[in-house]
Chains A and B, each alone.
Chain A
Amino acid sequence: MNPTSLPPALHFTPPAAANRVEPGRPVIGVRGLDFFYGPAQVLFGIELQVREREILALIGPSGCGKSTFLRCLNRMNDTIPGAHARGLVEIDGHNIYAPHTNVIGLRRKVGMIFQRSNPFPFSIAENVAYGLKINGLAKNRSERMARIESSLRAAGLWDEVKDRLNKPALSLSGGQQQRLCIARALAIEPEILLMDEPASALDPITTTRIEELALELKTRYTIVIVTHNLQQAARISDRTSFFLMGRVVETDSTQRMFTNPSRKETEDYITGRFG
């Protein structure tokens, strides 16, 4: 495909060199994953690898199973009655669907950021401290305060909230709330961050802020991000995976995917010719 046929906004601009990482070892390996809501199958034989400290973007039309797939990676789907998965999902070499898997430990390792920011109705500090309390981490006060500060700094929120840590989290703006949720997830020091359209409810400037944040976080975390915004995928991700009707059509480096997709469906989707 000729790049000039892309809409102008989709011209691929490679991320800053500092943020490019050599492909690391695979930390998530998915093989033959089927997923069912009751009798309805929504994921079919998913094959996918996520490498250490890369950003993998999941794109695809609405309802194709991106969120479902993401929630398979920390077993959040367990909470849905009748839902079940079949196949292999390995994180750090362990099959997370094996019996006797420590789901709580898994969720500590695999943090999740939701589409709608969902802070607890507590203070800002308590929101960040919640995961610490639950997991019995940073028990003494100074340790806890240090962890709260470092998480808020990593989420780029510290300077805005350091004088009002005891104010209710719900008094923050939408973008601040979302960054607070990121800080809350970072506090328990996960290895992997799952983000489900983290910026879709936010304005463009705040979105840019979240994207910059994702690029910063990449130096320490492996990130899987679902996005409907193809420019966003192009701007921040190393590799992109295109989902269609519960199947992975192709996974490739973002640059190649947006300039020279190997599959017709992918090309149709990213050029907007897709229904």
Chain B
Amino acid sequence: MKFRHLIAVLASVVALALLAIVVFLAVYSWPAIRMNGAGFLRRNTWNLGNLYSDPILRHGREVMPGASYGILFLIAGTLLSTLIAVILAIPVGVGAAIFLAEAVPAGMRSWISFFVEMLAAIPSVVFGLWGYVVVIPFLGHHLYPWMAHHLKFIPFFAGHSGSGYGLLTAGLVLCLMIVPLITATLRDALVTQLATQRDASLALGASRFETLWSVLLPGARRVLIGSSILATGRALGETMAVLMISGNALNYLPRNIYSPISTMASFIVSQLDSALQDPTGIAVRSLAEVALVLCVISVVVNGAARLLIYYHGRWSARMA
């Protein structure tokens, strides 16, 4: 077998594995999908029903009386926390990459870079614990009350500032987790690939700042978008850290940026135990449906970002 064929086989195994997971989720959660209908995505109810009474029949299936499943609040929590994380992480990550590539002498650069990359290697549960012990008390007692008072003119910044568990905290900790992904890739692109272009620009009489702004950053745009996609994927699927700091809201939408939330990934973990108590099995299948929705959202976000790159590339090639 030629090497090329081996690669093709390996690549298709990976693709098939992804497909197999999605198909499994779809088949397994099918009874829940039938029962929950489109309301699953629109309602704010996650209710296992009365587990102490006998199952009743609904649409030809046994369910517990009062059971109802709707995860709008999870979708909102997931997308909003990821959005906050990515919006904060891009400028911070780009800034750190520029700092490492431009301002730090080469000898020190590898050391600082090492620490930045170590940040990416820390298990997320450690981030969660740190958030729980250190970040939340500070945010809940000091920063959030201050923000709610002084920044209340900004939409969603006013109102009850909570105890520190919630949307913004989740966004901040997720941000910290994904910044190294962006910084490490972008710094490499700035330092290596573009060294020759940097020379060309300086030799034309450009300052370092002009070179960075007009040549190096546009040249690294693709790398930036690519690493942001990866970062988004990680934030969407992050489980443990979010579970520990998000406040685990149930059945309501966040009212402001301090409100408790839940995300799909952390909700699956936190609810699995109680869902297993449901003798009809619909609760677990509904959790699988949550997982399916998470998969679909990740794939859609990824695909949309890739299309963006593709059209952006064609567009800028034409406009340039």
Contact = CB atoms under 8 A, between A and B. Distances in A.
B198 to A, nearest CB: 8
Nearest to A113: B203
Interface stretch (B89-97, B119-127, B211-219, B299-307): B211-219
Interface residues of B, number: 23
Contact of A114 (B106, B196, B207, B320): B196
Interface residues of A, number: 32
B205 A108 contact: yes
Contact of B205 (A107, A114, A120, A121): A107
B203 to A, nearest CB: 4
Contact of B204 (A121, A122, A166, A184): A184
Nearest to B203: A112
A237 interface: no
Contacts of A200: none
B204 A134 contact: yes
Interface in A191-214: none
B317 interface: yes
A271 interface: no
Contacts of B218: 121-122
Interface string B179-198: 00000000000000000111
Contacts of A168: 317, 320
Contacts of A81: 105-106
Given A123-B317, A166-B320, A168-B320, A111 B201 contact: no
B202 A116 contact: no
B164 to A, nearest CB: 44
Nearest to B204: A131
Interface in B264-320: 317-320
A80 B200 CA distance: 15
Given A76-B202, A76-B203, A122-B218, A134 B210 contact: yes
Contacts of A52: none
A58 B149 CA distance: 70
Contact of B207 (A74, A104, A167, A184): A104
A123 B318 CA distance: 9
Contacts of A135: 204-205
A168 B315 CA distance: 12
B11 interface: no
A107 B204 contact: yes
A118 interface: yes
Contact of B199 (A118, A133, A184): A118
Contacts of B318: 166
Nearest to B211: A134
Given A130-B214, A134-B214, A118 B196 contact: yes
Interface in B37-57: none
B129 interface: no
B204 A114 contact: no
A134 B199 contact: no
A107 B200 contact: no
B320 A123 contact: yes
Interface in A142-182: 166-168, 181
B320 A188 contact: no
B199 A114 contact: yes
Given A119-B200, A122-B320, A131-B205, 13 more contacts: A76-B202, A114-B200, A120-B215, A121-B219, A123-B317, A130-B215, A131-B206, A133-B214, A134-B201, A134-B206, A134-B214, A166-B319, A188-B205
The 10 closest A-B CB pairs, nearest first, are A123-B320, A118-B196, A131-B204, A112-B203, A108-B205, A107-B205, A118-B200, A134-B206, A104-B205, A121-B219
Interface of B: 105-106, 196-207, 210, 214-215, 218-219, 317-320
Interface of A: 74, 76, 79, 81, 104-105, 107-108, 111-112, 114, 116, 118-123, 125-126, 130-131, 133-135, 166-168, 181, 184-185, 188
